[in-house]
Amino acid sequence: MAGVEQSVLAEPVTESLLDSVSKSVVRVVAEQHCAAFGHYASQRSKVAALTIHAIESDPVMVRRREEDILADRICDVALHVQLEGIAEIAQGGRVLTLKPGAFAIIPVGIPYLVCYPDKGRKIILTIPHRVFFDSAASSDTKVLDATVFDGSGLVPIVVDLVKAMTLEKDRALSDIEQFTLADSFLALVRSVVRTHIPPSGKQLATSQSKRLTRILSYLEENFSDHELTPTRIAEDNLISLRYLHDLFKQSGTTVSRWMWERRLRAGRDDLIDPKLANLTICDIAFRRGFSDSSHFSRAFKERFGIPPGQLRMKARCGALDILTER
């Protein structure tokens, strides 16, 4: 993986050691916690726009204040996994305990305090704010304060993938492979967030959830069909058009928006796929359900901040970080 940096510190407690801790991920104030603090090791790597910090240390406490946020102006989202030991996270008036096998999401643009009472190991993966809220959370599902996701459902898969990305950091991945990995990871996180934090605090009834799952499976097979409309989707799935719209509304989106996003993302994947280099942009637009290539190009630039032709050139040059920044 690209951009691996290492720093290993093992020395008696000194101001310089705590200062190194305070600059490791984002700007914080590091304070000694009860027991002696004489060891800190940090390793950083990148997967597309995601930055991974593998850390092991003696007990320590880190505090991010308003002045720290104003100083570094970083408002990323930190996805936190404990490998050994626990983390006690305080943010927004709540105190949460993170244990191995689960993960926490911490918005670093909001002050917080994290206490590590034991010697331990952890992985902190930082996701740019725009990437997280455009890709990992629905428009109606926002993680406002620190949240812990326990070890049920897809959570263990997310945790295992974080570990794999960290432990296999030396395996060389192409830019396209990095982008694909980051995109798949964010899709998993999005699913966990939507499952654990339903829009407006309401869980879909079990029958509704199963029906929506079937409809999404149907859409995955048919989203590139030019003739696909909400009316046809409802008819093919034996439900009313109104009920179809209600199902998607409760999931924080709309049918049309889901199809629009899916077609654009598929078109984006086609543009960076070297196996499809012989296809023109018009071919790709038509292939993914757009009848007008100009319409596709405008929508693509609005969604990803870059014209499809320029994206293809950047992919060929290996400059793909921009792909995961929207």
- CATH code at position 303: 1.10.10.60
Rg of the chain, C-alpha, whole Å? 22
Would you list the DSSP string of 210-228? HHHHHHHHHHHHHTT-TT-
pTM exceeding the 0.85 threshold for the entire prediction: no
CATH number for the domain including 140? Answer: 2.60.120.280
DSSP-H helix ranges across the chain: 15-22, 66-72, 129-131, 155-167, 175-196, 206-222, 230-236, 241-250, 255-271, 281-287, 293-304, 308-317
Would you list the DSSP string of 254-301? -HHHHHHHHHHHHHHHHHT-GGGTTS-HHHHHHHTT-S-HHHHHHHHH
Has residue 6 got a pLDDT over 80? no
Mean pLDDT of the chain, nearest integer: 83
pLDDT for position 323: 47
CA atoms within 13 A on the CB side of 302: 9
Query: Quick one: 271 and 165 in the same domain?
Result: no
* The dihedral formed by the CA atoms of 296, 297, 298 and 299, expressed in degrees to the nearest 10: 50
Query: Quick one: 214 and 193 in the same domain?
Result: no
Query: Quick one: 47 and 147 in the same domain?
Result: yes
CA 31 to chain centre: 29
Query: Quick one: 140 and 230 in the same domain?
Result: no
Tokens 């570094």 — which residue? 72
Q: Tens of pLDDT along 228-269?
A: 999 999 999 888 888 899 888 877 788 998 899 899 999 998
Query: Quick one: 39 and 67 in the same domain?
Result: yes
Query: Quick one: 142 and 250 in the same domain?
Result: no
Q: Tens of pLDDT along 96-120?
A: 999 999 999 999 988 999 999 988 9
Domain closes at, from 164, 197, 230: 197
Residue 103, SS3? strand
pLDDT for position 21: 87
Query: Can you give the residue range of the structural domain that contains 50?
Result: 2-197
Query: Quick one: 121 and 164 in the same domain?
Result: yes
Domain closes at, from 197, 219, 250: 197
Domain closes at, from 197, 213, 235: 197
Structural domains in the chain (count): 2
Query: Quick one: 160 and 190 in the same domain?
Result: yes
Kind and range of the H or E run holding 115: strand 112-116
Query: Quick one: 246 and 132 in the same domain?
Result: no
Has residue 322 got a pLDDT over 50? no
Query: Quick one: 172 and 248 in the same domain?
Result: no
Other residues' Cβ atoms within 10 Å of the Cβ of residue 299: 18
Query: Quick one: 165 and 232 in the same domain?
Result: no
Query: Quick one: 208 and 185 in the same domain?
Result: no
In the 8-state DSSP scheme, what is residue 199? G
Contact call for residues 81 and 121 (beta carbons, < 8 A): no
Per-residue pLDDT band at 279 (split at 50, 70, 90): very high
| Residue 144, Cβ density class (10 Å: 0-12 exposed, 13-18 middle, ≥19 buried) | exposed
Token pair of 136 as six digits: 């990992």
CA dist., res. 290 & res. 267, Å (int) = 10
